[in-house]
Structure 1
Amino acid sequence: MFRYGNYDNKYSAPEFDLHLGVTYWVHMDWDGFRNFVDNEIIHVAPADTIDVCLANTGRGIPLISLSELYPLPYSPYQPTTPLDFSDRLNFGMKATFIRYANDPYGRSWFNDRVIDNSKSISTPTAIEDDSKEYKLQKQVLSTAITSLDASSPLVIDVSTRNDYEYLVHLHFFDFEKHPQNQQRSMEINFTDIIRQSVTLNYKQLHTIKATIPEGSYSISITSSPGSGLHPMINVYEIYRALPQPKSPTYERDVDAMWKIKDAYNILRISWQGDPCTPEEYRWEGVICNYSESIPRIISLDTSSSKLGGDIVTYFSSLMMLASLDLSNNQLTGEIPQFLAKLPKLKVLNLTGNNLKGSIPKALREKSSTGLTLSLDGNPGLCQTGSSKTTTKKFIVPLAASVAASMATLVILIYISLVLYERRRKKQKVLLLKKAGDLKSKNQVFCQDEILSITSNFESVIGEGGFGKVYLGRLKDGTQVAVKLLSKSSQQGFKEFESEAKLLSIVFHRNLVSLVGYCDDGDMRALIYEYMAKGNLRHQLSGLLSPVFPISLQLSHKGTLSRPNFFFFWVDFPDNSEGFESVSKNACKDALQFSCTT
């Protein structure tokens, strides 16, 4: 029901189009701003939901006052297409409009027509007939009209539009008693095109149905020869059969689009009703193929729509999708494998998100055979790695905590000594600045990149509890040391992770810098800056003599279960003095933790 009450002080009711799903229903218009319009429709729903769409046509904002839904489990109307209510007359009743609260079909009844050559008749006797499947109210069947004389017909003009078919129901219920063996027989003519005859039994409902084609008609009801009784009618109903020029979108596509909308809380105003049909109200960012009998979605653009979280699996149901644009959102997680299984996909744009991990192998292979794949602007995404994924999460940098044990921690330390000239008999010994200015970038490397950096693990430069250390070279020529976690390592992934945690948060000129890491598939590796002058053992073995090792105990409140030690050394000239003072200064300069020499 629609009623305009001048809520906007414009004294002009809006005009808009009304759609039932993909079917155009009616153009809404008012004769005056205080009038109301009541529209009914009988529709067999193809799905669990029914969409009633108020389409803005630029003549005011659409409105609706009341919406009611009545189930018709055993509908006598049996529509093959939606049936729009056109007219319903209850002949003979005193009121011009009435609606009965206990009507299971929620029908409204009118008596606003004057039928020439007719008179009203009624009965005060309660009618016990339940009118079978039509469920007509007793009050409706207790009134009727008859002609003024038996030889005169009842003529009812029916005004219809020329571009629709109409379904007509004529209800007859003879509540008058007649002499024995006399029955009311009548001939029904629809403008001489359709002719039917009917003989009524006392207090038994009889209904005639007819479908009339396009045009204007008159219904003529006359007494059959020999009947001797006046023609009569109680009720008639007329419905307009709405054509359905377009089929709804493929059901799986519709279901997928609504789940995508709900998953990302997409608030685009056009994302209502059917995604493809009517075509002029197609969802924003959606392109459909209408060449087949059922529309299919072939392109989806949700770029710059503030989508967050993982790429949901509902996209996999859009099997005809040729183009998918998810760029410039806040999508996270890894690129899912199912995107490579979309058989028609030719364009995939994932730029400007926060995706991570590796590109699925199947997707990389598809990109070499016709798929245009755009991935720029995803800092954590490894664009050359394998499609394998790991079952453990390894994220660098991690939360600031100093946690490692002596048995599980191997720190490569390089200390160089620079001895400055003594000035005015005061000795100062300073630790050398680490060679180079390489800083930890915490880069993410893939398996393929590790293989390239190390030339397929060509040169071994060391070995420890984790595994072997290989010489490598980055693309810019910088030499690095690649520590590869062996599958047979007794220290395992947890200790490997602990080392990465520490080096990602502790930075000092006397500690080796962590360049990056690889956690791709079965490969786990740490990439350090390369120490050209050797490792700690070389330094302590006398290559830089004399060497005084300093034990540096690190502790951090609430994070360590036992002390942890790092080793530094200081090289003194032969005539050095004040070892105690120098060692304390070196220890103090090393790290801001508790220091023991």
Structure 2
Amino acid sequence: MLKHIVLLLTFFLALRPSYPRPAPYAMRISCGARDNIHSPPTNTLWFKDFAYTGGIPVNATRPSFITPALPTLRYFPLSEGPENCYIINRVPHGHYLVRIFLGLVAEPNFDNEPLFDVSIEGTQIYSLRSGWSNHDDEQAFVEAFVFLTDGSASLCFHSTGHGDPAIIAIEILEVDERAYYYGPDWGQGIILRTDRRLSCGAEKAKFGEDYSGDRWGGDRFWNSMTTFGQSSDRTTSTKNSIKKASNSPNFYPEALYQTALISTDHQPDLEYTMDVDPNRNYSIWLHFAEIDPSVTGVGQRVFDIVINGDVAFQDVDIVKLSGDIYSALVLNKTIAVNGRTLTITMHPTKGGHAIINAIEIFEVVLAESKTLPDEVKAMQTLKKALGLPLRFGWNGDPCVPQQHPWSGADCQFDSTRSKWFIEGLGLDNQGLRGFLPNEISGLHQLQSINLSGNSIQGTIPSSLGTITSLVILDLSYNFFNGSIPESLGQLTSLQRLNLNGNSLHGRVPAALGGRLLHRASFNFTDNSGLCGIPGLPTCGPHLSSGAKIGIGLGASVALLLICTCLTCWWKRRQNILRAQRIAARDAPYAKARTQFSRDVQMARHHGHENARTAAENGPSLLA
């Protein structure tokens, strides 16, 4: 019964429609370009270079035929800072091939050839060496396989003082999650920097797209290798199809296995030697397919593979291991190299000749741990608030790569969290003119801050009191104003406090003047408004904030009343003066009218008197 159920489930799964795998994410940027552009011969789309970084766009000089045919580049003069980065956002979580094409602003010479370091996601992966621009090969770009897990990609160029970094193009191409898996140490903490990728027997160098390769292969570049030198080999090729070529997770193009180098009777060993950096680990990938018509079955060609004198693979029989002729075989070995050379030898043990189709060599780089995100954010805010000059750079990660930390930032590693943090800020006498933001408290583990000798303005942020690890705080000789925050009294580890040479006022917090400063060095001089500790003026009665507000309001009301009374008095005085002026103007008329009124009154008075006398004497007169 169970057997029938399994068969039935298998039948239905077989009937289920299969959906094609989505296309891999691809971001290609033409540095310095103002518009999107398509490059020949494959009509590849390159996006315009917009708002990713600083630098200066100019017309490009291509150092190699490998370089895409793009007309512009972006270069980074040292005056804009030693660290310059492209920060590309909205990159999906995944495994990527990241490739950076180098450019030239002008024809290079010994004095102006750009020699700089390149880092990806805070890990330095390459240092350009003198003479790189004279080699028309894979030196035209820097490439690595890296996991991008935080939604962005950071690609930085670090000046060494010899020429200005110049970049023509950037590619970020998604590959299979398990591409180039080489063993248990492989994973997100590992970056594989491409050191060499050779197509043996090929006449021309080609990209994966030229090979019509699967896009999940990352459009790798394969440099042609027609001989290992000294007539030790010959080329061979085939047009037959190759089985097991473009398989997950690496998706090698079939054409890679259709050419090969074969050793000769004169020199039966096939040997390839290259220079490497000492004391590094290298992951070596060797590609084989039995395309020699003289070999038709198992046991006809057997050889050992020796790397730096040690047998890495013994009795390699391509037909046996791959399962057939014209069938791809990939062998991988990761080794530690102590010297400065890497030698790979195919030593025949049966059949007389060795064969190889392609070689890939990667340096295994341990990815740097990054700085705590909150601290990076705080440093970026500090950069804007203080108006840091361009020469500081302050781009990318403050602490990594370790070879290029931000100028003025001292970093320490937190082993418990595997992250870096900022331990000290030394930005004294740098001509800073901004203000100190509250966000500086995001640097939770600061032990030293020295911002002396600048022109920083504004108040001292009270948030400094939350950085309880502070041992040294030097803000002397700036233009800080306002009062000293009470919160600075919480800095129980403080040993040196310099606030002299500012415009501070008010009472020095009691905790600073008493408990802390008995064992600390401090300087409050040259602040004419400070008071409250020995060496400074005595403060007046201490008023609470509420009392100060009440006094202010009372004074305002009193002033308003005085102004109101003065206004009323002034208006009344004006009315009186106006009335007096009118009276003086009309005085003659008023005098005449007064005399006339008096005469009328006198006449009326005498008339009444006469009438009364006549009335009294009337009868006697009639008689």
Which residue of structure 1 aligns with residue 550 of structure 2?
485
Q: What stretches of structure 1 of length at least 5 have no aligned partner?
A: 388-442, 458-466, 468-481, 487-495, 513-549, 554-564, 571-577, 586-597
Matched residues in 1 for 2:469 and 2:391: separation? 30
Equivalent position SS for 1:119: strand
Matched, 1:258 2:380: yes
CA contact (8 A) 1:153 1:222 kept: yes
State the 1:385 CA deviation. Answer: 7.0
User: What residue identity is the alignment partner of 1:69?
Assistant: I
Whether 2:312 is the aligned partner of 1:211: answer no
What's the counterpart of residue 90 of structure 1?
Answer: 199
Q: How far apart, in 2, do the equivalents of 1:583 and 1:300 lie?
A: 77
C-alpha separation in 2, matches of 1:174 and 1:502: 105
Whole-Å Cα distance in 1 between the matches of residues 577 and 166 of structure 2? 88
TM-score of the superposed pair, with normalisation by structure 1: 0.57
2:358 to 211, 216, 235: 235
Once the 2 structures are TM-superposed, how far is the Cα of residue 235 of structure 1 from its aligned partner? 0.9
CA drift of 1:196 comes to: 0.9
Q: How far, CA to CA, are the matches of 2:540 and 2:298 in structure 1?
A: 109
Pairing partner for 2:287 from 159, 163, 171 = 171
> Contact 1:167/1:239 (CA < 8 Å) preserved in 2?
yes
Give the Å deviation of 1:236. Answer: 0.6
Given that 2:145 and 2:192 are in contact with CA atoms closer than 8 Å, whether structure 1 keeps it comes out as yes
Residue 323 of structure 1, aligned match among 443, 449, 463: 449
Q: What is residue 423 of structure 2 aligned with on the other side?
A: 298
SS in 2 for 1:188: strand
SS of alignment partner, residue 269 of structure 1: helix
Structure 1 residue identity aligned to 2:406: W
Residue-by-residue CA offset, 1:380-415 (whole Å, 9 max, x unaligned): x5344799xxxxxxxxxxxxxxxxxxxxxxxxxxxx
Shift of the 350–144 alpha-carbon distance from structure 1 to 2, 3 Å rule, reads same
Query: Where in structure 2 are the equivalents of 1:35-54 lying within 5 Å?
Result: 37-44=140-147, 51-54=154-157
Kept in 1, the 8 Å contact 2:507–2:530? The answer is: no
Question: 1:121, 1:360 → 2: CA distance?
Answer: 80
Deviation of 1:122 after TM superposition, in Å, equals 2.8
CA distance 1:183–1:208, change in 2 (3 Å): farther
Aligned partner of 1:121 in structure 2 is: 236
Structure 1 residue 500: deviation in Å?
A: 2.8
Displacement of 1:45: 5.9
Q: Equivalent residue of 1:69, what SS?
A: strand
1:436-585 pair list within 5 angstroms: 453=540, 485=550, 497=553, 500=556, 503=559, 552-553=566-567, 580-581=576-577
CA gap of 1:6–1:99, structure 2 versus 1, over 3 A, is farther
More helix by share: 2
Task: Report sequence identity in percent.
Answer: 17
For residues 385-464 of structure 1, what are the structure 2 equivalents within 5 Å? 453=540
Distance (Å, rounded) in 2 between the aligned partners of 1:119 and 1:286? 57
Q: Secondary structure at the match of 1:169?
A: strand
1-side partners of 2:286 and 2:301: how far apart? 15
Alignment of 1:331-370 (within 5 A): 331-332=457-458, 335-349=461-475, 352-353=478-479, 355-356=481-482, 358-364=483-489, 366=491, 370=495
Alpha-carbon offset, residue 211 of structure 1: 1.6
Contact 2:433–2:456 (CA<8 Å) still a contact in 1? yes
Q: Does 1:286 align with 2:412?
A: no
- Alpha-carbon distance in 2 for matches of 1:128, 1:349: 71
Partners of 1:123 and 1:149 in 2: how far apart? 21
Task: Give the TM-score normalised by structure 2.
Answer: 0.55
Deviation at 1:268, TM superposition (A): 3.7
Structure 2 runs not aligned, ≥5 long: 1-100, 512-528, 533-537, 582-623
1:193 equivalent among 287, 300, 310:
310
